[in-house]
Structure 1
């Protein structure tokens, strides 16, 4: 991606905060008693759309320091996230970020380069443990005060690679496993995160803040987590790309859990290359998460080697033959994407699989209920939180209902708490039906049609923020890869109603190299990433 001439150190030192962002709220439009400001938010951030490669080049050449970079992003968070459009993507800023950056700068001067993220500012989701001054709360007031004793495994990997964690991102509380009536991107601790394209629209979740932070240039890259859709949905509706890795490629130890079967962390970025760089840092085996042993010989420390402009040539891509809803604009967007795939040499194969996968939804939810209770109780038993069990979380929320549950309740927490242990036959039956069943369906479709990937619209455009009645999402392509534990990548696919829509590619276990190549080839051929405009209203 081409960038204007990089700013000099002198420029950073002398230009004030107001020069990086100018608010243009001047005219008021009235519509039947509803007043809103329709003038654009004029965004002149010097680092807008910057990539890891550009930052790394300038850090190593001495044109800029990590300390200066961190300060720029911290300023950006103040002016964009906490005022201006007030995106509310960052739940907590790292008070030690500048000090850490100074250490990274000293190492660069000494010729010590830790890795590809040395001195690079990033954001991680607030369900990932950090052994520093930041809390880990999953957005819940019940978890306030939880300062982790140890870094999560992936945080250790990030620090080893030289990344500077400048803050934690807001999320759908308990990773969107609190209520079936929830509004994505809302948490009792962090409030409501907003979509940076149209501010009264939903950022999706549960990795809402991570997706918005990347989209709005509050950081270079971010880490989200997914059980079912929590990386790819916010990536899709916020106009960025996200990778949900194969379960087992990235450790989950030190991450507040939902499901040992489906949970994974994953990269969120503005480009496929940046996401590939971050994935190489995050992946690796961890003795505290035995499933990562399955990734031995199947993971890579450098996924950029699979970036190939011709990766689509000769590939067989499966597309569900049933229409993805009846919206003419979304259908046209998919048709345009298919045309790009064909022009790049891919063969499109019509397949029929989604009805079979969708029929497993009830079993999937039951698996998550069982595993959430088991996993959360285990996490809380050793955490530094004031609540030590799921039951205590429920009791806290009931005792603080006005603050903890002002809009929607906690029926998912309550139904999960009623479940017994993982030795129950009902759990094992649901697991076999959902997890093993979805894998069998997908393996059969891939084998029968000799597919390299399955493609489709990730999600429809963002729904409106609705704190009273909750989310109203349309079509979703998150479950197949989620329930099976298979990898899923979404890249910007275009815009509908001025809102981003993502295009998905998913495959079988540990097919990340192939998917990254396919996604990169599509990204470079389509160039659909458009930075947000911070519009106040859809109307």
Structure 2
């Protein structure tokens, strides 16, 4: 971090800045001016002191990303910085390892600019959590209006991209943790098919639903980053088919069209916010004007889906997080979920000053493998077989769309998160492990709102093309942060 942040008027412009040392330096200058000082966004936890030199080397080597800088959510291991998942218990978790997705990024010429703040433990610690807060990083602020929430758990990644603190960022999602921060911060967020990107050396919640994915200011940039990080990993069985489905995800984006594409509108997932509804209707009209065939879909999410999904997450959290902690080569004070719970109690002034650990404590009691298997079967059947796949097939549509979520709510450490309006349908894609893209749709009173595009398994490239096609015909104005 710069000790004396430059004045904003002295900053090098990052407009159109992609790769190379001058861009890396300009982004570091913006982090110093806007994240460490000024509005103090708290989106970035730490920066890479060798980023400028690495950007020059990658550009000079002629690699595909040409030294473009990427901020990485701090639950993904990078060799030069600790990986904390936002918890002070992992402040010393310097493993010296690159997660395979980061190794892929570097091989493609990408540069780790630093680590982003997140909702601690990826927002799975408490029923009363406040998204965007961690013991390590404090509160991440939404750069559009700093009293508003940046959503979780990839809050820092979404806020940083919106504030032009890096070319792009990597987030992770179990259910909504890429798409929600993308939506409320006004950027593109893509949750790929589970298994397209390795999860090895990523602090986990659930091997059934976890994935990393790109966050960027355009669909084309998100696709370019996905090109770099995707790939099979022998240590992650879920990725066995990944290489067979890898393509150039940027191919066809400039000329992508919605002409003749049948798109299913999830009318019951639009919610009851009149401003969001009006904005969504405008987006649908834009698609229709571009030649899309719009099909209204009447779907109600079964109550049993949420309960079954939650049982899966509780059971897998205990086992998966425990395995990660036990296997870290760093000198850390916790080696299991039970250890994490005890650590938080012992450091309650720092770790539980904002909210408790009620979900952690519940997960620690979940040891019934039969219940886990039944819950996974139920959740997958309801979300995919009788949900997303059935809706696509029965209505003969290629994609499903809905608003991603509502505008950012006020950050409130007393009452917690405020997800009002029953907006969105991300759980279908999260549980099914299918691609979900959030593209900025426009704004409500100066706050961004995203459009969700959902597709079938391994249909990632087509979903990205649909997003690029919408991006090209969108008539609403997307708000930009006024930093």
TM over 0.5: yes
Are 1:279 and 2:226 counterparts?
Answer: yes
| Partner in structure 1 of residue 125 of structure 2 | 178
Seen in structure 2, the aligned counterparts of structure 1 residues 102 and 355 have a Cα distance that, compared at 3 Å, is closer
* CA RMSD between the two structures: 1.6
Seen in structure 2, the aligned counterparts of structure 1 residues 378 and 179 have a Cα distance that, compared at 3 Å, is same
User: Cα offset for 1:185?
Assistant: 0.4
| Partner in structure 2 of residue 165 of structure 1 | 112
Any conservation in 1 of the 2:269–2:424 contact (CA below 8 Å)? Answer: no
Unaligned runs of 5+ in 1: 1-15, 22-43, 57-65, 535-539
SS of residue in 2 equivalent to 1:184: coil
Instruction: State how many pairs are aligned.
Output: 473
| Partner in structure 2 of residue 418 of structure 1 | 365
| Partner in structure 1 of residue 268 of structure 2 | 322
Give CA deviations for 1:471-525 in whole Å, capped at 9, x if unaligned.
Answer: 0112233211001111000100111121100001001101111111111010011
Q: TM-score, normalised by structure 2?
A: 0.95
Q: Whole-Å Cα distance in 1 between the matches of residues 372 and 300 of structure 2?
A: 23
Are 1:103 and 2:57 counterparts?
Answer: yes
| Partner in structure 2 of residue 79 of structure 1 | 33
Q: Whole-Å Cα distance in 1 between the matches of residues 293 and 239 of structure 2?
A: 34
Q: Whole-Å Cα distance in 1 between the matches of residues 447 and 255 of structure 2?
A: 27
SS of residue in 1 equivalent to 2:101: helix
User: Cα offset for 1:306?
Assistant: 3.1
Aligned residue among 113, 117, 120 for 2:62:
113
Aligned residue among 132, 142, 153 for 1:206:
153
| Partner in structure 1 of residue 284 of structure 2 | 338
Q: Whole-Å Cα distance in 1 between the matches of residues 177 and 143 of structure 2?
A: 18
Q: Whole-Å Cα distance in 2 between the matches of residues 19 and 317 of structure 1?
A: 44
Aligned residue among 311, 318, 335 for 1:388:
335
SS of residue in 1 equivalent to 2:195: coil
| Partner in structure 2 of residue 306 of structure 1 | 252
**Superposition pairs for residues 212-291 of structure 1, below 5 Å?**
212-291=159-238
User: Cα offset for 1:308?
Assistant: 4.8
Any conservation in 1 of the 2:43–2:159 contact (CA below 8 Å)? Answer: yes
Any conservation in 2 of the 1:175–1:207 contact (CA below 8 Å)? Answer: yes
Q: Whole-Å Cα distance in 1 between the matches of residues 239 and 87 of structure 2?
A: 28
Q: Whole-Å Cα distance in 1 between the matches of residues 193 and 136 of structure 2?
A: 30
Any conservation in 2 of the 1:434–1:483 contact (CA below 8 Å)? Answer: yes
Are 1:18 and 2:12 counterparts?
Answer: no
Are 1:91 and 2:45 counterparts?
Answer: yes
User: Cα offset for 1:73?
Assistant: 1.2
Q: Whole-Å Cα distance in 2 between the matches of residues 518 and 308 of structure 1?
A: 11
Q: Whole-Å Cα distance in 1 between the matches of residues 12 and 176 of structure 2?
A: 30
SS of residue in 2 equivalent to 1:223: strand
Aligned residue among 436, 450, 460 for 1:502:
450
User: Cα offset for 1:310?
Assistant: 4.5
User: Cα offset for 1:120?
Assistant: 1.1
Aligned residue among 106, 124, 135 for 1:188:
135
Q: Which moved more, 1:94-103 or 1:370-379?
A: 94-103
Q: Whole-Å Cα distance in 2 between the matches of residues 458 and 335 of structure 1?
A: 14
Q: Whole-Å Cα distance in 2 between the matches of residues 309 and 334 of structure 1?
A: 23
User: Cα offset for 1:150?
Assistant: 1.7
User: Cα offset for 1:323?
Assistant: 6.1
Seen in structure 2, the aligned counterparts of structure 1 residues 404 and 84 have a Cα distance that, compared at 3 Å, is same
Q: Whole-Å Cα distance in 2 between the matches of residues 532 and 449 of structure 1?
A: 39
Q: Whole-Å Cα distance in 1 between the matches of residues 8 and 171 of structure 2?
A: 31
Unaligned runs of 5+ in 2: none
Are 1:295 and 2:247 counterparts?
Answer: no
Are 1:368 and 2:357 counterparts?
Answer: no
| Partner in structure 2 of residue 467 of structure 1 | 413
SS of residue in 1 equivalent to 2:467: helix
| Partner in structure 1 of residue 436 of structure 2 | 488
Q: Whole-Å Cα distance in 1 between the matches of residues 56 and 458 of structure 2?
A: 37
Any conservation in 2 of the 1:299–1:510 contact (CA below 8 Å)? Answer: no
Q: Whole-Å Cα distance in 2 between the matches of residues 158 and 72 of structure 1?
A: 21
Q: TM-score, normalised by structure 1?
A: 0.85
Structure 1 stretches of 4+ with a deviation exceeding 4 A read none
Q: Whole-Å Cα distance in 2 between the matches of residues 306 and 256 of structure 1?
A: 34
Any conservation in 2 of the 1:306–1:514 contact (CA below 8 Å)? Answer: no
**Superposition pairs for residues 506-525 of structure 1, below 5 Å?**
506-525=454-473
Q: Whole-Å Cα distance in 1 between the matches of residues 41 and 141 of structure 2?
A: 5
| Partner in structure 1 of residue 13 of structure 2 | 46
Q: Whole-Å Cα distance in 1 between the matches of residues 358 and 51 of structure 2?
A: 38
Aligned residue among 38, 60, 67 for 2:21:
67
| Partner in structure 1 of residue 72 of structure 2 | 124
Are 1:532 and 2:481 counterparts?
Answer: yes
Any conservation in 2 of the 1:309–1:524 contact (CA below 8 Å)? Answer: no
SS of residue in 1 equivalent to 2:424: coil
User: Cα offset for 1:152?
Assistant: 0.2
